[in-house]
């Protein structure tokens, strides 16, 4: 898999053209392209768990992980931050996940500038999508993005483009 420029984390969604993919609750889910992990971006009218942006970590039979954003919090900066955080979670727990988990992105957090363009495109796709029912979330507009999987992250690491490592204590 090739990724160009600095758009390394969620930039893949542009190449994949995955905007407007079937809803999270649909029975038929498209298989992610090789080297990628599918993630659902959902924009709901109301904050979930009282947070503007949360990550519902899922996997396996539960379906892809979901980045849930309230309408007010649905900015490219927050989506980029959520994607970067989820990438670190994937690196920590593995792409398949270690069970369900609830994570948040504080409202004051902004993501990497390099991801903002892709994040903006992703949100544009979300806003143009129809309203679907997302399990555990409710009614929301959704789109599908992709993050680099373990193999792709290793490739990025080998090429000196991107590394994720646990912060020394």
Partner 1 sequence: MSIHRTCRHPVVAALALAMAAACADAPTRPDARPPAADPPPAPLVAGPGARVLTPAESAIHATAAAWAAGGNRTLQDFLATDALWSESARSAFAAASGGPSAVPAPPIPPSGAAETGVPPTVPITPETFPRAYIVASSTQAFTNGAAGAVTSIVTYYGVRAHTDVTYSSNDDRGQVVNPKTIVSNEGYSEGAIGCLSNTTASCTFLGSLVTPIANINFGRSCGVTLSASAHHRAWFQLPIPLVDQILTRWHWYLLEWGWNTGDDQVANASNGPCPTEVVTQPVCGTQLIYDATTCDDGGGDNPALLGAADPQCTLWLIQIEQSYDGGRTWYVVDSWIEQRC
The CA distance from 50 to 9, in Å, is 26
Selected binder of partner 1 within 27, 31, 50, 61 (CB under 8 A) = 50
CB of 92 or CB of 128, closer to partner 1: 92
Region of 14-22, 66-74, 111-119, 129-137 interacting with partner 1 (CB under 8 A): 111-119
Q: Is residue 2 a contact residue for partner 1 (CB under 8 A)?
A: no
In this structure, the number of other CB atoms found within 10 A of the CB of residue 60 comes to 9
8-47: contacts with partner 1 (CB under 8 A): 8
Q: Is residue 131 a contact residue for partner 1 (CB under 8 A)?
A: no
Selected binder of partner 1 within 11, 59, 76, 111 (CB under 8 A) = 111
Q: Is residue 49 a contact residue for partner 1 (CB under 8 A)?
A: yes
Among candidate residues 106, 102, 133, the one with its CA nearest the CA of residue 52: 106
Q: Is residue 91 a contact residue for partner 1 (CB under 8 A)?
A: yes
| Cα of 58 vs its chain's centroid, Å | 12
Q: Least distance to partner 1 from the beta carbon of 147, Å?
A: 12
Selected binder of partner 1 within 81, 119, 123, 143 (CB under 8 A) = 81
Strands 65-70 and 131-134: unpaired
Region of 13-21, 58-66, 107-115, 143-151 interacting with partner 1 (CB under 8 A): 107-115
CA distances 162 to 15, 58, 96, Å, are: 18, 24, 21
Q: Is residue 84 a contact residue for partner 1 (CB under 8 A)?
A: yes
Site residues (vs partner 1, CB under 8 A): 6, 8, 48-51, 54, 81, 84-85, 87-89, 91-92, 101-106, 108-114, 160-168
């Amino acid at each position: 898999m090739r990724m160009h420029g600095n758009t390394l984390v969620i930039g893949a969604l542009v190449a994949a053209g995955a905007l407007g993919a079937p809803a999270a609750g649909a029975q038929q889910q498209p298989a992610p392209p090789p080297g990628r992990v599918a993630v659902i971006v959902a924009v709901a009218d109301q904050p979930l768990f009282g947070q503007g942006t949360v990550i519902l970590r899922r996997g396996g039979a539960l379906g892809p992980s979901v980045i849930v954003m309230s309408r007010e919090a649905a900015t490219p900066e927050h989506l980029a931050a959520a994607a970067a955080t989820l990438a670190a979670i994937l690196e920590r727990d593995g792409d398949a996940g270690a069970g369900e988990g609830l994570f948040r992105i504080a409202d004051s957090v902004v993501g990497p500038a390099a991801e903002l363009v892709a994040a903006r495109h992703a949100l544009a796709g979300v806003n143009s999508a129809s309203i679907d029912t997302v399990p555990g979330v409710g009614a929301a507009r959704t789109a599908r993005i992709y993050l680099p999987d373990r193999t792709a992250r290793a490739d990025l690491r080998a090429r000196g483009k991107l590394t994720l490592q646990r912060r020394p204590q």
